[in-house]
Structure 1
Amino acid sequence: MYTQQDLDDAVASGALSADSAAALRSFVEGQRALPAVDEEHFRLITGFNDIFVSIAAAILLFAVGWIGQSIGESIGLILGDDGPSPLAPAAVAATAWGLALFFTAKRRMALPSILLLLAFVGGVFGTASLTIGALFGAGFFDNNDTATMGVIAVSAAIAAAGAWLHWRRFKVPITIAAGAAAVAGVALAALGAAIAHLPDNDNIMLGLVLMLGIGMFLFAMRWDSSDPARQTRRSDVAFWLHLLAAPMIVHPVFTLLGLNDGNAGIGEGLVVILLYVALGITALAIDRRALLVSALAYVLFALQALFREFGAVELNIALTALVIGSALLLLSAFWHQARRAIVQPLPDGLRARLPLLDRPVSPVPAA
């Protein structure tokens, strides 16, 4: 499949005229029976070769990590007596960057690019944390939560810097989300270090996760609003940011409501369903389904509790699955119509920042 970026590159190199590229897009649109509006396109695989390369890359990264660990043990560069060595994640990060120079920069393979990005950022984080740990010694962190959180914060900051360098070189859409997650990790670890002495700090941490999730959502909307037609990689960047923001918003809200204690009653169940409806309206307005998916486990649990309270003990799971499955399928089938009903009454200024209702069909954005 040719992507928007491929066509743009062909026009820029002179291999294809701008008029020819526009005619090709129009032809593809006309060949489709249904307009692909309101669909979250993003590149994951372009063919089975993506899966093949990803499997091979995973095997290679595992091998170099093992070899790095073995070398670290032989020279005594390990955490504690028999702990991990910083050479293992360093080898993984270096190998991931090297592979990305070909499979991402030259071949533009989507799934391997995602895998290599995650391996690189994770390797940078692991290298930083294990190096700091080896310098101070494992005993320094025994019963010292403040020091542990401090190391996590510093390592996450280094990982965020690594993600920024990766974005500057390769422009893989998920990189922004990985860097944002690392920045969130810095904030959470810093707060954890500051309140480690408090006896009950879970709610404080959940509150910060919620605020970070809202900030992540607004950051994602900034990327989304810059590409309302969803024809560039900025839309892919927003997709991954929404995917990161959704659980950071949903989990703290439902946890603070007490849904995770396993004792949800009628009141809590109704609140969860109302919140899920509100999330559904938001998802329709911004044309992103990540919020609905992230909250799905909670609403399933709440509905199951409601059916159990009303006496449908034996069939509560089946009835819950029936209701949610049917509702989501109906919403998917009539997503465009439902979204139009939500978006059209909005003020012009707000509607201008949302994805277009009748945006043209375009190729999948490039990775």
Structure 2
Amino acid sequence: MYSQNDIDEAVAAGALSADSADSLRRFLDQARAMPAVDDEQFRLITGFNDIFVSIAAAILLFAVGWIGQSIGESLGIVVKDGPSALAPAAVAATAWGLATFFTGKRRMALPSILLLLAFVGGVAATIGFLEALVYNGDNLQGERAVIVGGVAGSIAAAVGAAAAYVHWRRFHVPITVAAGAASVSAIVAGLLLAALGEGPNTTNVMLGLVLLLGIGVFLFAMRWDSSDPQRLTRRSDVAFWLHLLAAPMIVHPVFTLLGLNNGTSGVGEGLVVIALYVALAITALAIDRRALLVSALAYVLFALNRLFETAGAVELNVALTALVIGSALLLLSAFWHQARAAIVTRLPGGLQSHLPVLGPAALSPRPT
């Protein structure tokens, strides 16, 4: 990167004309002012040191959890000769301590994500294991097991949500909001499971609830996205992780109810899956988020594979499926800006104002 002083010295030495220097300054100013959109950028690593610290932190957390488990076994604080609540508690405490330095002071992206997940997951697991320890001697079965499990899961998720809130207030790691949203969703799901009990329609009702919760998380993510349409602040990163959470919560229930997970789907269901994937692609283009496409990828691969099998291409069905999907995704990636511009410009102006702005690559004419 050249400084203004370097450019001035180049002009003084005759290596660069004054007009060229002014043109270069204008170009740099415009480049810096351009919104960083249409590429769905977010901070994951700032250098290899992020990976190095993450590996070291994971090893340390594993060791601390192992030691906590050993201490719990020696003290008899275990769930039916299984996990001990001391293990996740030690992991959560260590993760918070590491976060005070690597997140609070160093602001390292990947280690911060790892430590946040370890802290919130450790806190929730600690409460869950303690609850299991209370019922350690009870032989829970059938309806009672479902009810107790739902309530216990909701309590653990509620404590996990509180832990995510405390972590957010202290460190403001973008993924924390998604962790809190996942915890709140788990609270609602656990309470409904406890209310329904064991019944023939419990699975379908729970899938419907997860779908509704996924839509709610998606709308919550759009609220964060709409507050930063140029994607210049941390709000865009928060929205990214919320979209990454919402996508499987929306996709999995829909495709499971279509029978893709139990092998009962036919040609009709396969065509419906393809149509839904196209709708997801249009939505992903409009909001400039690729998470929807990635989350539904396994389902559309399975559906297209079944269609090729039905058509008689049994030997090449996997290769043909990979060829079609891989080529389509690469073409979509290559022309993402143009495809997004074609969709967004046809939407109502009020809706466009809540979507990420179109980048210069989408607005510039295509070369001839």
Q: Report the TM range for the smaller structure's normalisation.
A: 0.7 to 0.9
Q: Deviations over 1:91-144 (max 9, x none)?
A: 100000000000001001111000000000010001111112223434254542
TM-score by length of 1: 0.87
2:320 corresponding residue in structure 1: 319
Q: CA deviation at 1:261?
A: 2.1
Spell out, residue by residue over 1:294-338, the C-alpha distance to the aligned partner (whole angstroms, 9 max, x if none): 111111111111111111111111111111111111110000100
The whole-number CA distance in structure 1 between the counterparts of 2:188 and 2:205 is 12
Report what 1:43 is aligned to.
Answer: 43
Note closer, same or farther for the CA distance 1:140–1:25 as it changes in structure 2 (3 Å cut). Answer: farther
Q: CA deviation at 1:280?
A: 0.6
Q: Structure 1 CA distance, aligned partners of 2:101 and 2:45?
A: 17
In structure 2, the partner of 1:6 is none
Q: Give 5+ residue unaligned stretches, structure 1.
A: 2-22, 361-367
> Is 1:75 aligned to 2:40, yes or no?
no
Partner SS, residue 244 of structure 2: helix
In 1, Cα distance between equivalents of 2:351 and 2:337: 18
Partner residue, 1:170 = 171
* 2:230 matched residue in structure 1: 229
The worse-fitting range, judged by mean Cα deviation, of 40-49 and 129-138 is: 129-138
CA contact under 8 A between 1:141 and 1:148: conserved in structure 2? no
- Give the distance between the partners of 1:215 and 1:207, measured in 2 at CA: 12
Partner Cα distance (2:213, 2:95) in 1: 29
Q: Distance in 1 between matches of 2:25 and 2:107?
A: 22
Aligned residues, how many? 337
Greater Cα radius of gyration, structure 1 or 2: 2
Distance in 2, Cα, partners of 1:197 & 1:270: 33
| AA aligned opposite 2:210 | V
Change (3 A) 1:197 1:313: closer
> Partner of 1:259: helix, strand, or coil?
coil
Measure the CA separation in 2 of the matches of 1:248 and 1:148: 21
Q: Work out whether residues 36 and 231 of structure 2, in 8 Å CA contact, stay in contact via their aligned partners in 1.
A: no
- Residue 310 of structure 2 corresponds to 309
Provide the C-alpha distance between the structure 2 equivalents of 1:339 and 1:110, rounded to a whole number of angstroms: 29
Q: Which amino acid aligns with 1:243?
A: L
Question: Taking CA–CA contacts closer than 8 Å with sequence separation of 6 or more, which of the two structures ends up with the larger relative contact order?
Answer: 1
Question: Which stretches in structure 2 are left out of the alignment for 5+ residues?
Answer: 2-23, 362-368
**Corresponding position of 1:103:** 102
Alignment of 1:138-287 (within 5 A): 138-139=137-138, 141-143=140-142, 144-287=145-288
Could you say what secondary structure the match of 1:198 adopts? coil
Q: Specify whether residues 25 and 179 from structure 1 end up closer, same or farther in structure 2 by C-alpha distance, changes over 3 A only.
A: farther
One-letter amino acid of the structure 1 residue matched with residue 303 of structure 2? A
On the 8 A contact 2:337/2:359 being kept in 1, the answer is no
Amino acid at match of 1:230: R
Measured at CA, do residues 55 and 343 of structure 1 come closer, stay the same or move farther in structure 2, by a change above 3 Å?
A: same
Q: Give SS of 1:227's match.
A: coil
SS at match of 1:260: coil
Offset, 1:263: 3.3
Aligned to 1:52: 52
Preserved contact between residue 37 and residue 231 of structure 2 (Cα < 8 Å): no
Structure 1 residue 266: Cα displacement: 1.8
Q: Which AA in structure 1 matches 2:73? A: E
Cα offsets for 1:235-262 (capped at 9, x unmatched): 0000000000001001111111112222
Q: Percent identity?
A: 70
C-alpha deviation, 1:90, in angstroms: 0.7
Query: Which whole-Å CA distance do the structure 1 matches of 2:360 and 2:236 have between them?
Result: 13
**What CA distance in whole angstroms lies between the structure 2 residues aligned with 1:206 and 1:257?**
11
Say what the alpha-carbon RMSD is for the aligned residues. 2.2
Contact 2:258 2:265 in 1 (8 A): no
1: CA distance between counterparts of 2:29 and 2:187?
45
2:87 pairs with 1:88:
yes
Distance 1:84 1:25 in 2: 62
